[in-house]
Chains A and B, each alone.
Chain A
Amino acid sequence: MSSSQAQDATGAGVTSTGDAPFFPMSREPGCPFDPPPPLREAAASHPVSRVRIWNGSTPWIITGHAEQRALLSDPRVSVDDRRPGFPHWHAGMEQVAPRRADSVFNTDPPEHTRFRRMMTAPFTFKRVSAMRAVIQEITDDLIDQMLAGDRPADLVEAIALPLPTRMICTIMGVPYEDHAAFSEQAAVGMKKDVDVLAQMASFRWQHDYFANLVKARAAEPRDDVVSDLAQRVTAGEVAVEEAAAMGVGLFVAGHETSANMIALATLALLEHPGQLAILRESDDPEVAAKATEELLRYLGIIHMAQRRIAKEDIEIGGQTIKAGEGILIELASANRDPRVFPEPNVLDLRRPTTGHHAFGFGLHQCIGQQLARVELQVVYGTLFRRVPTLNLATTLDKIEFKHDGLAYGVYHLPVTW
């Protein structure tokens, strides 16, 4: 029996193409906060192995923390999804990829650097720190409104979605009333059970929305990100298509992910009352900041694996990734790598968590991470103090989780107080 057959019983650590287990995998019933067991187990024992994906191909999957760090900062690894053999998320993405404009999402340096630097100014540490008072004010308002309303309330609708949505709409200059239609389209674009034509139509809708907004702001500029992109179009620095691609990326990443982190973390804390008490009983911003890093690590909501392709042969973790082979970087499992995080499956808000991969690593690490941090720090540091009796208005088994989403989370979170 080969070693890969021996490992196949658990589905972890297979390095031959024939036995590779299917990805994405299901989470264990009753363990909604943990990555699927085979991936968690592989992080330390088989950090570089293979999986089978939707089109039958068998790309590498990287679950170990050190191995992810190395590959995400390796110039031999490309994010260019037009390269043959690229391990796309699904058939819809494969169809759309050759038609997408160049952006930070599908280019390597030097093109990537040029695009990224057009997007980063509003998200610097200091610019975002200056928004903390506004974020606190919006959070307090939303909590007031929730408390004045009916019980139970859906925490997703009451706080988790509106806070980051209002922030990203303000920064970018997107009319707040448009976010619902946009979110609906973005969700269609990511679901795996939607047909390819519907996915392509949703990508087209999102792109056209931002192309039209860029054109409108070119005519009448304001002080926002879309106006800045519009000025770059007017100056000939970028095409409208490229500006629209940047707008779509910033907007989708800018609210869905934080919304998922707010609602999912609230649920995790309600299920870990001893941990929730740490936040409820402290008004120290350092406590909330530390808790935020640990919740980002523990929940690891980006769970569909970041997609890459090798441009040259790469030796890593005792394996050889050949040029042209696909690479899946499964960020959530690296956050459970016991070589870096002792007792990785324990949620411990007091531990000094650094170096998690919740925002990725390397050149494509999240542009909006400092904004996300302040939003999460404010909500986690405020919600449980202001609503100390907050509790779940249903049972864990009745909660519907976003198993298909690019970002994991909950669709609704009924709470009472």
Chain B
Amino acid sequence: MKVTVDQDKCVSAGQCVAAAPDVFDQRDEDGVVVLVKTTPDAAEEDDVRQAATACPALAIQVQG
């Protein structure tokens, strides 16, 4: 699985960190998404898909 995020679209809701805290983080100054891992472990893939679905700004893309 490969993950990409669009920081321009992000609205800092924090849903991605709640769903997959080892894959996503938020910038201290404004909560905008930071991608910690572009290739999540197999065990994290369901959580990453959940993060992409939950993102209110549709700012997370998942391939594979």
**B15-33: which residues lie under 8 A (CB-CB) from chain A?**
17-18, 21, 25-26, 28-32
Contact flags B11-49 to A (C-beta < 8 A → 1, else 0): 111100110010001101111100000000000000000
Contact flags B42-64 to A (C-beta < 8 A → 1, else 0): 00000000100110111000000
Q: Which of A121-129, A244-252, A263-271 contacts B (4 or more CB under 8 A)?
A: A121-129
Q: Are A362 and B30 in contact (CB under 8 A)?
A: no
Q: Are A363 and B50 in contact (CB under 8 A)?
A: no
Tell me which residues across on chain B come within 8 A of A120, comparing CB atoms.
Answer: 11-12, 30-32
Tell me which residues across on chain A come within 8 A of B14, comparing CB atoms.
Answer: 123-125, 128, 369-370
Is residue A361 contacting chain B, with contact meaning CB distance below 8 A?
yes
Is residue A98 contacting chain B, with contact meaning CB distance below 8 A?
no
Q: Which of A120, A123, A363, A370 has the most CB of B within 10 A?
A: A120
Q: Are B53 and A363 in contact (CB under 8 A)?
A: no
**Which residue on A lies nearest to B16, using beta carbons?**
A125
Is residue A360 contacting chain B, with contact meaning CB distance below 8 A?
yes
Number of A residues near B (Cβ < 8 Å) is: 27
A312 to chain B, nearest CB (A): 19
Which of B11, B17, B56, B58 is in CB contact (< 8 Å) with A125? B17
Given contacts A116-B11, A363-B11, A370-B18, whether A124 and B31 have CB atoms under 8 Å apart is yes
Q: Are B56 and A117 in contact (CB under 8 A)?
A: no
Tell me which residues across on chain B come within 8 A of A369, comparing CB atoms.
Answer: 13-14
**A330-376: which residues lie under 8 A (CB-CB) from chain B?**
354-355, 359-367, 369-370, 373
Q: Within the assembled complex, what's the spacing in Å between the Cα atoms of A249 and B41?
A: 40
Q: Within the assembled complex, what's the spacing in Å between the Cα atoms of A363 and B50?
A: 18
**A94-153: which residues lie under 8 A (CB-CB) from chain B?**
113, 116-118, 120-121, 123-126, 128
CB contacts between A and B, total, < 8 Å: 65
Is residue A73 contacting chain B, with contact meaning CB distance below 8 A?
yes
Q: Are A355 and B54 in contact (CB under 8 A)?
A: yes
Q: Are B57 and A362 in contact (CB under 8 A)?
A: yes
Tell me which residues across on chain B come within 8 A of A124, comparing CB atoms.
Answer: 12, 14, 17, 26, 28, 31
Tell me which residues across on chain A come within 8 A of B18, comparing CB atoms.
Answer: 125, 370, 373
Q: Are A362 and B12 in contact (CB under 8 A)?
A: no
B22 to chain A, nearest CB (A): 13
Q: Are A354 and B50 in contact (CB under 8 A)?
A: yes
Given contacts A124-B26, A126-B26, whether A365 and B17 have CB atoms under 8 Å apart is no
Which of B30, B54, B57 is in CB contact (< 8 Å) with A121? B30
Tell me which residues across on chain A come within 8 A of B12, comparing CB atoms.
Answer: 116-117, 120, 123-124, 367
Q: Are B29 and A121 in contact (CB under 8 A)?
A: yes
Q: 18 A-B pairs, CB-CB below 8 angstroms? A: A72-B56, A113-B11, A116-B12, A117-B31, A117-B32, A121-B29, A121-B31, A124-B26, A125-B26, A128-B14, A355-B53, A361-B56, A363-B57, A365-B13, A366-B13, A367-B12, A367-B13, A370-B14
Which 9 residue pairs spanning A and B have beta carbons closest together? A120-B12, A365-B56, A120-B31, A125-B17, A125-B14, A117-B30, A124-B31, A124-B26, A370-B14
Give me 16 other A-B pairs in contact (C-beta within 8 A), A125-B17, A354-B54, A355-B53 excluded.
Answer: A73-B58, A117-B30, A118-B30, A120-B30, A120-B32, A123-B12, A124-B28, A124-B31, A125-B26, A128-B14, A354-B50, A354-B53, A355-B54, A365-B11, A365-B13, A370-B18
